[in-house]
Each structure stands twice: as structure tokens, then as C-alpha cells.
A and B are shown apart, each in its own frame.
Chain A
């Protein structure tokens, strides 16, 4: 069983591709929400998750180090180095930790868009 997003929500403009450091992250403001946006330059992949680390509820994931484990993209929280999958948001270093909400990202020319469902819609397949 796996979970995927249905891309029915709204795409909003986050920033220019050049605003995001290669192989790193930034924090995007969307109304009252904070979204962490990551750019894997070597494989030209983009990911977005909530910026809040569920462990101690710190707004910090965008400042975390990115990387892979067995090819799965991940981010490590700067506070206690818990790592989270950027594919599905699950905590890789602690199975009891909450998962992150993830958001689809698309690039149009040099513009980055993030998809936010007004009420996040998840579908099981």
C-alpha cells in the first residue's frame, strides 16, 4: 500500500529556481504556512514538505542537510538530525516519529510552483 497525492489543489508560485541553493533548501511562505522546498541539482529533482520538524516542533527543516539513503531523497533536521524521506515524508531514523506532509512541485521555465490542496487530499492506491 502506498500513498500518492492527487494534484487537484492549487499551484502557487513559490520563487525562481535560482533563488534555491543547489542541493539545499529554502523556506517558502504561503499564507500562514511554512513550506520547505528542496532542490537536488545533481538529479534535477524538487521536493517540498512542511517546514515544521515534528520532533520538537521546530521551523527548521528547510535549513537541514539533504541527501539520500539507498537512493531515497531525505532531509536531516538541524536540531537532532532526525531524517525524513522527501518522497513520502516518513521519518527514516525513528519509526515512532510523525511523518511530514509533502507537496508536489513543478517547474515552469525558471519558476517554481508548489501544489497546496486547500484541505490536503490524500488518496490510497
Chain B
């Protein structure tokens, strides 16, 4: 069988993939013509080209994939003619190829309204990588942008203009609201308001009459005689199916364009199929990728004598437009008398949710989600699978808070439920993969392809993995280890209830065996978080993680590093000299850390108390670099020196660092304070970060650097210093009380039921009524703070523990070896 595919876009590519998958059973000759200069790429994520994805990153498959599978791919060579009588096609470069079956997957072109001046310089369309390259080249000379069209693509294009640095960008929509096909008036208003906050200007009800300017565009004139200055314009007013080839060879096309196809995607010539955006099925053009993929599946299986039918496709979509979730599914706005709608709107947060249910309250017909589309997948599945609704359907929108088992929703779905509609993967397939041992998201993606296209179903796939594993009894309870059958949070509550103060007491009350390297540090950390007693007291020393036990970080070779606290990164020259002198005396390697302090490496265990005695005499204190505790509060120089500074970020950073120093938590905590929005202290990468505003401080929480970077999110804005500290007290204590062991704030938030909204409710609105309690718990710790190193230095019994040999305290470990590098020492390489 010889197949020729015209068009190597997303759907054309999918046809190749499907044909190759079936070629094992019957021999296949496959020839593809593509007009664009590169192989098929992910047009859906075109806009990510502006945030750093390269054309190569976007490819659906590398060139080698085509060669490896024996596909003859002609790029940059459009087909010019189809000869149906002889069953051949001829390309621009003059290649003539006969076919048994022909697939037309020519997609669509941007629809450019017939308005004078559209051909001026600076007017672009937004469809291919070449379009983006041209826009990017032109952008530096432009300062005000306009996008004609306020639909899905128009808003994407507006994002592209913002990304190109054109912050003064208008979106112009002909109808009275944005995205008229997907969302209703009320939703559009919320969306418009949100986009406005993000800096995008929107004009609705505007009919463009002329593109002004001589050679290059200078502005737009509207039918109401108003004028908008613009020196770069993107036209995104809709799509026009590319049916020119089909028309020329006499295939049936629709009056408004599109190649007419039947349920098998055959055109009026049974040997020619049309798929994707160029196909007109039942008077519909499908401008989305998922229906296109389904068409590819149906067409190719029909060609291989399998009987499938394309009976239309749900146009549900979920997108992130300039950071705002927008989703529309099923029937977003049925006629009022055929349904009953439940609407939830929060103007303050900018969320709008609407679901339409049948008049008898039994089934979900469709809906709209704006600002927060977390529930999209579940709602879509509920609608698609005609699942009977709960007695209070509003719970679908609001969620039943608190006890809800995260992900329980997916268990109710039938096995046939389509989870990944791009790749056509059902719930049953995913669960089977998990049962077969693919227990991570990556594994499941690899073996089922779910979540590899638009990625929208990923959260649901994750939930399915967890639910399936739970069902197999693999992950039943989040207990600490074999010695304690409780979660960390339960342990904390129990220890507090009984006022237990040592690891042994806790083990006696609630544990079994001798403990281990997992539960000991957990209990030790809980004890420290509750009482802030000296951690080396009461036999708790040996329950500490090794670094905590020696109040220093063990390094290669078995020596330790010493980090004195330098609050806010501010230090006097005199103190710098002391550090230098101590480092010289004890032969320590010195390095500035990422947290604006100085790390001294290579200290022998037995030298630690002497080193600290000298540091303390010079006014230093422990920096807790060894603990799962507050590390540093980084600061920029702020208003005392910086010409942009709004407030004194250094003083506030010092105040905060001194308040929370020594605070022990499930994991380390980092913070920073910036003096203005330029954010030189990188506060948004911290567990809690503070940025000065005209009116006070913005407090961000749950950011993370490290291996999985995550930006902190705004918890509250324009706070005065006292309120800011109170919120931090509450936030930190709530984290300490509820997080699993060794969980940073970012991961904790990601797992927190209800996420940031819930956290904000607890911290800012005191929804649990525990704010006072949290603040009091924090105050107790602040009041109990003592420098651990000072206590060791002053206590001969504790000092004694800092020797390598119990029977030769004066001897150092003779196996410790150093090498030299750049005039300092380094640990000898280990084997």
C-alpha cells in the first residue's frame, strides 16, 4: 500500500505515526510533503518559543524518526496539484508521486479580515515558527502592540507580544466580550479584569476599519472613528481551512471553506481522506488538536479496513492564558430553559465557575472555569461519562473541604473514561500500566503516552497512580517508620498532648524497638519545634541527625564546616577580621555561601568547641547551617543605600532572622527581603520572601530553589511590618505542625488539599480559628531561644563529646587528609 500525506503539521504527523504503527502487518510505502521548512512541531505550544523553547524542542519527532521508519519526507516542497484520474500528486519542485491513498492534512491559514492596509509592514499573523521569527525581528523597533481578535489564539498572540517586551499591548475584539465561542459574558468580564491586572489592555465591541500608516503600520482606525496607535499588529481573527488543492481537483468543499468528509474522513473521492483543520465534518471545522488526532486515528484505521467512525468531537479546552486558567467544557452555555446553572464567582480573587446541569439535577452538561481550573478534568469526565451527580452538585465546584481524600474523584470514573484525550488514553489503560509496575508519572507517560501532548491531564494521571497503588495496599498510611505507626503530624500532636520531652519518653509511649535513623531525627525535630530545649540535653543528643549532634556539617573526609550567623548578610569589618584570624589559626578553607554568610571548612571535631569559643567571644552565634532549621534571611541593600529602595530591607531581614533563628522545622527554611520590586534578594525563590511595596511589604511563601525550583506565591500584599511578622509566625507554625518529614514548604503546599487558597484562608482569614495558638507557639520558641554553641562552650560535659577518640581525647583522627588548591586546602578525594 502506498500512501501520500500532504502536510506535515500536527495531524499529518499523527497520521504517519498511526500508519507506522500498523505497517508491521502490511507493507507500507509512505511519502510526505510539507510546505514548512522543518518537520512537524508542537503548534499548540508555539508560544513557549518565547520563553526559551527552541524550534528543536518543539519538534514532535526528530528527522531521524522519519528516516528510521523509511518515510520519504519532502520538506519545504508544497504539493501544487492532485491528479485524481491518474492518482498522482505533483510538488512545487516538480516531484510526481503516485498514491493508492492520499491524505490531505493541510491545516488552516490565519483568516485576515478584508480591511485596507493589512499588507503594511509590522502586521503579522501567528501560526508558524517563521511568523514568530519575523515578529521577534520586528519587535525591537515597536513600542505599542495590538492584536486583532480576542479569541484563544488572539490572547496567545498578546502573550507573545508581552513576552517580546511590548508591555503596551491592546487586544481588540469585535464582539462585546472575549472568547465569545468558549465562555459567557460574566466569565469574560472576570477574565478581562484579570488580564487587565496583568497589564493587558482590552477593547471589545471594536470593528477595525483600516490599518493606518504609510509603509509601516502606525495605528488602527475603528468603525466608530476612534483610533488606536500601534506599531506592531498581530491578526488573529480566526482560521481559514486550506482547501485550495482540494477545490482545484474538484473535491467537494463547504460554502465557507473546508474539505467535506464523511464519518470515515473520506472526501468525495473515496481514495482521498482529509483530516485536521482543513476537514469539514458535519458542517464543523475543528480548530483543536485533539479532534484532529481522533480524525487521524479513524482515517488510518479505515484505510487499513478497520471500522471506526468520527462522529464529532467535544470542543472542551483548558488553557493557561497569560497565567490565567481558562476552561470550557461540554456545553458551556445551553439555552436557559434546557438546564439549570450553578455559578460561583469571586471577584476579589478573579475566579468564575459555572456548571450546567440537567433540570432534574442528574447529569452535568458542561461549564466554564476561569481563574482556577483545577476541577476541569474531573468535571469533563463527569460530563462525558454521564455520571450521576452528587446530591449537592455545588460540591463539584467548591469541593468538600478538610477531610476530602485528594484524588478520590478519579476512583469513581468508569474504566472507559478518556483521561488523555489528545492521545486517547483511557483510565483503564493507565491503571493497568500502574498495576504492571509503572508506578511513577514518567513511567506511565512513557508506556501509555498519556499526558505527553498538551499535558492537561497530568494531575489526573498522578491521582490515578496514587489511587491504584492505594487500592493495591501499597501506600496505605503515611507512617514515620517501623517504630512508630503514626504520621509526623499525629506524632506532633501526641507529643504535645503528653508534654513529652525526650526521644526515650516518646518511644516508651508511642513506639516500639529502638528507633532508627528515620524516626530519631523526626522526633528530635518535633521536640525542638515544640519546646526549643537544648538539643543535646536529656539523652536527646544521640537522637539527633549526625550534623545536629555535633552542631556542624560533616564534610568529605570526616571534618566539619562552621557557619556563624551573619543576620541579613550584614557584617562589620572587625568581625570579618575575626573570621579571617580564626580561619588562619585553625587552617580552615573559607568560602562565601549562597546565603550571604561565610563557611569555614575542614575543622577537626575536637577543634569545634575552641573555634566556637573564639567566635562567640567576638559576638557571633550559631548559624544553624547543620540543622533542619531557619538558615538565612538574605537581603538586598535596600533604601539605606539603593536609589530604588522603598524600605530598609536589611533592618527588616535582620529583625526576621533574629526572630526565627534556631527554629527547627521538618526541613530547612530560607528567607529573603528585597527593598523593591527589582527583587535583588531573590525573595520569590525562598520558603518565605518579602518584597517592599509603596505601601508596606508583600509576603510570598513556599518558593524553592534546589533541584525542583518553584516560585513563591503571594500570600498577602501591602502589609505593615507587624502584620507581616504575625502572618509569618502563623505560616511557619502551620507548616511545622502539618508537614511530613523532610518536606520543604513548596512540596508541602503542592500536596496541601486546597493549595494556596486554603493556606491563605488559614493564615490570613484564620479559617481554622488557630491563628492565636500558632502565634503563641511561635512566641514560646522565640522566648526560649539560646545559642546552642554558647551552651556547649560553657558546659565541660558537653564539650567532652567533641573528641574523635574516647580514649585519647587529645588526638585528632590521623586518617584525615587534605590537598591544596588555589592556595587553600580541600578534602582529599574519596574513592
Chain A residues at the B interface, C-beta cutoff of 8 Å? 14-15, 19-24, 26-29, 32, 34, 37, 40-43, 56-60, 63-71, 73-74, 76, 78-79, 81, 83
Find out whether the CB atom of B830 lies under 8 angstroms from the CB atom of A58: yes
**Closest Cβ–Cβ distance, residue B806 to chain A (whole Å):** 4
Q: Which of B516, B541, B814, B815 contacts A67 (CB 8 A)?
A: B516
Residues of A with C-beta under 8 A to B557: 58
Residues of A with C-beta under 8 A to B554: 60, 63, 78-79
Q: Closest chain B residue to A43 by CB distance?
A: B514
**Closest Cβ–Cβ distance, residue A39 to chain B (whole Å):** 9
A-B contact pairs, 7 of them (CB 8 A): A14-B807, A20-B806, A23-B543, A34-B805, A37-B806, A59-B815, A76-B516
**Centre residue among A28, A29, A73 by max chain B CB count within 10 A:** A29
5 additional contacts (CB under 8 A) given A24-B541, A26-B806, A29-B811: A43-B514, A58-B556, A65-B520, A67-B514, A68-B516
In the docked arrangement, what's the CA distance between A64 and B543, Å? 10
Q: Which of A28, A56, A78 contacts B806 (CB 8 A)?
A: A28
Pick the 4 closest A-B CB pairs, nearest first: A67-B516, A24-B542, A78-B546, A76-B517
Interface string of B536-571 (1 = CB under 8 A from A): 000101110111011000101110000000000000
Residues of B with C-beta under 8 A to A68: 483, 513-516
Q: Which of A26, A32, A67 contacts B517 (CB 8 A)?
A: A67
Residues of B with C-beta under 8 A to A41: 539
**Centre residue among B542, B543, B557, B558 by max chain A CB count within 10 A:** B542
Find out whether the CB atom of B558 lies under 8 angstroms from the CB atom of A60: yes
Known A-B contacts A27-B805, A63-B549; A56 and B831 likewise in contact (beta carbons under 8 Å): yes
Residues of B with C-beta under 8 A to A70: 482
- Residue B193 lies at the interface, judged by CB distance under 8 Å to chain A: no
Q: Which of B514, B545, B806 contacts A27 (CB 8 A)?
A: B806
Find out whether the CB atom of A65 lies under 8 angstroms from the CB atom of B516: yes
Find out whether the CB atom of A29 lies under 8 angstroms from the CB atom of B514: no
Q: Which of B514, B515, B546 contacts A64 (CB 8 A)?
A: B546
Q: Closest chain B residue to A58 by CB distance?
A: B558
In the docked arrangement, what's the CA distance between A67 and B520, Å? 9
Q: Closest chain A residue to B550 by CB distance?
A: A63
Residues of B with C-beta under 8 A to A21: 539, 541-542, 801
**Closest Cβ–Cβ distance, residue B414 to chain A (whole Å):** 42
**Closest Cβ–Cβ distance, residue B80 to chain A (whole Å):** 65
Residues of B with C-beta under 8 A to A64: 517, 546
Residues of A with C-beta under 8 A to B549: 24, 63
Residues of B with C-beta under 8 A to A66: 514, 542
Chain B residues 272-328 with CB under 8 Å of chain A are none
Chain B residues 805-822 with CB under 8 Å of chain A are 805-808, 811, 813-816
Residues of B with C-beta under 8 A to A20: 806
**Closest Cβ–Cβ distance, residue B538 to chain A (whole Å):** 10
Residues of A with C-beta under 8 A to B558: 58-60
- Residue B372 lies at the interface, judged by CB distance under 8 Å to chain A: no
Q: Closest chain B residue to A20 by CB distance?
A: B806
Known A-B contacts A42-B514, A68-B515; A28 and B546 likewise in contact (beta carbons under 8 Å): no
Residues of A with C-beta under 8 A to B515: 23, 67-68
- Residue B613 lies at the interface, judged by CB distance under 8 Å to chain A: no
**Closest Cβ–Cβ distance, residue B138 to chain A (whole Å):** 55
Find out whether the CB atom of A65 lies under 8 angstroms from the CB atom of B545: yes
Residues of B with C-beta under 8 A to A73: 514
In the docked arrangement, what's the CA distance between A1 and B507, Å? 34
Find out whether the CB atom of A69 lies under 8 angstroms from the CB atom of B516: yes
Q: Closest chain B residue to A63 by CB distance?
A: B546
Q: Closest chain A residue to B517 by CB distance?
A: A76
Residues of A with C-beta under 8 A to B517: 64-65, 67, 76, 81, 83
Q: Closest chain B residue to A42 by CB distance?
A: B514
- Residue B804 lies at the interface, judged by CB distance under 8 Å to chain A: yes
In the docked arrangement, what's the CA distance between A58 and B817, Å? 11
Residues of B with C-beta under 8 A to A22: 539, 542
In the docked arrangement, what's the CA distance between A82 and B118, Å? 69
Q: Which of A32, A34, A43, A69 contacts B482 (CB 8 A)?
A: A69
Find out whether the CB atom of A23 lies under 8 angstroms from the CB atom of B482: no
In the docked arrangement, what's the CA distance between A78 and B559, Å? 12
Q: Closest chain A residue to B546 by CB distance?
A: A78
- Residue B504 lies at the interface, judged by CB distance under 8 Å to chain A: yes
Residues of B with C-beta under 8 A to A37: 806
In the docked arrangement, what's the CA distance between A109 and B558, Å? 33
Find out whether the CB atom of A28 lies under 8 angstroms from the CB atom of B514: no
Residues of A with C-beta under 8 A to B521: 65
In the docked arrangement, what's the CA distance between A23 and B557, Å? 25
Q: Which of B547, B550, B805, B816 contacts A29 (CB 8 A)?
A: B805
In the docked arrangement, what's the CA distance between A25 and B520, Å? 15
Find out whether the CB atom of A71 lies under 8 angstroms from the CB atom of B513: yes
In the docked arrangement, what's the CA distance between A37 and B804, Å? 12
**Closest Cβ–Cβ distance, residue A19 to chain B (whole Å):** 5
In the docked arrangement, what's the CA distance between A125 and B539, Å? 39
Residues of B with C-beta under 8 A to A15: 806-807
Known A-B contacts A68-B513, A68-B515, A69-B516; A23 and B831 likewise in contact (beta carbons under 8 Å): no
Residues of B with C-beta under 8 A to A65: 516-517, 520-521, 542-543, 545-546
